[in-house]
Structure 1
């Protein structure tokens, strides 16, 4: 049986993926300047998964799942965390945290296109406008000379886009897959398996590991916040919302994430906010609004009642 939907839980979950996830760009940027990216992400998710299992044990919640559910959580863990997050953390070595958040704000556009390709769902005229605006916004964002001139910045942009594809497909996969009914346990398995795969990736790339006692205080604090809030709280909320509402609605977190990330990156890391970046943000977020709005163009609504 599926768990009942609670309006309060949905509101709190949206706040979590809106604001908390917006701050993780800053936290990851701080940590990745000192730690290898796959090591950072591996520790974050593996520890979060273990903590979730420990909390479940003390609460008397069973962590038993079927083999099929284990396989599905591993697939989701790879799409969301091993590749979808681990590579973003790697890319943050070469691009600003606010820039990464802005690029990822095009996530609803990618989900919409994948839903059209993989599920055959037609695109509303309003959403078509959103797609067009999204393309323009992305172009304005990535075409800035001061950003392109940075070493490996183009590679970072490309890899972030690949992560967006991974997250988009993962969102559609999770919406249909047989996963543990308990969202907390579901998160735990995705975190743990995703963290183990990141550990393997870290070894494969020859990263040098270190213990927390040699990290700076800023990195230690960032890691704790990433594990507790960015991983356990926000990702549990994310998995809950993917079952409680549609993937397109979950993707609206991209309205707020870039604004939070831009402000925090500017305030704490002195990251530049260019006029072109602001213009790109306005166009991108307007496009996201058009993609997710339930309103229809009057001219087409009479003829497109069955479109989604």
Structure 2
């Protein structure tokens, strides 16, 4: 994701990642044979329409290597979805901080190896500006340790596609922060795509409530 952001605006990246619940639903159907509820199917269709509106903008896909960045983000989504299904059922240590630590340690080794293979330049954190250092510290504490541990915890209690709806708020925040601090443009089509996409994910998240309501009404009738 971080690598892809050199080619893709943060708002676009967050909006694309907001389709994560849709990807998990499809994998649950393909890999586990679970039936997708009608309201979830509606949510998937709406989400696909939202993604299409998002990526079809000429001012977004016209940039150099933008499609490469978007392709990398999609691969991240696919691997994240597959791993979420695995973690939800795997026999892992009961300590969720240990689970998070193992995953981050493995990821760190992979990223260091990849960085060396593509010849990236390295620098020490002491050479970075204070704003970068504070941002890194914030991401380590809140974005990684707390958020990722909570994600692993919820995967054992809630269906994976519902846990993935943690991405609801990401597009809105990313678009606003990108506009506020990075002078990124929020187009009308981006705003419409965001509304449509989040509406699709909303349908996925509310399917159980709708099922309970239908059962209640059928009993009364």
TM-score with structure 2 setting the length: 0.92
Report the counterpart of residue 15 of structure 2 in structure 1: 102
RMSD: 1.5
1:91-170 mapped onto 2 (5 Å cutoff): 91-170=4-83
CA distance in 2, matches of 1:178, 1:202: 31
1:194 aligns with 2:107: yes
Give the conservation status (yes or no) of the 8 Å contact 1:95–1:156: yes
Structure 1 residue 296 displacement after superposition? 4.1
- The structure 2 residue matched to 1:239, chosen from 137, 152, 164, is 152
Structure 1 residue 218 displacement after superposition? 2.0
CA distance in 1, matches of 2:165, 2:139: 21
Structure 2, unaligned runs of 5 or more: 216-221
Q: Deviations over 1:259-286 (max 9, x none)?
A: 1111111111111111000000000000
Give the conservation status (yes or no) of the 8 Å contact 2:8–2:69: yes
1:211-230 mapped onto 2 (5 Å cutoff): 211-230=124-143
1:59-70 mapped onto 2 (5 Å cutoff): none
Residue-pair matches, total? 213
Structure 1, unaligned runs of 5 or more: 1-87, 303-308
CA distance in 2, matches of 1:114, 1:101: 21
Give the conservation status (yes or no) of the 8 Å contact 2:46–2:200: yes
1:205 aligns with 2:118: yes
Structure 1 residue 217 displacement after superposition? 2.0
Structure 1 residue 244 displacement after superposition? 2.1
Q: Secondary structure at the match of 1:178?
A: coil
1:253 aligns with 2:166: yes
Report the counterpart of residue 267 of structure 1 in structure 2: 180
Structure 1 segments, 4+ long, off by >2 Å, are: 295-298
Give the conservation status (yes or no) of the 8 Å contact 1:137–1:283: yes
Give the conservation status (yes or no) of the 8 Å contact 2:22–2:161: no
TM-score with structure 1 setting the length: 0.67
Q: Deviations over 1:47-78 (max 9, x none)?
A: xxxxxxxxxxxxxxxxxxxxxxxxxxxxxxxx
Q: Secondary structure at the match of 2:43?
A: helix
Structure 1 residue 125 displacement after superposition? 1.0
Give the conservation status (yes or no) of the 8 Å contact 1:125–1:297: no
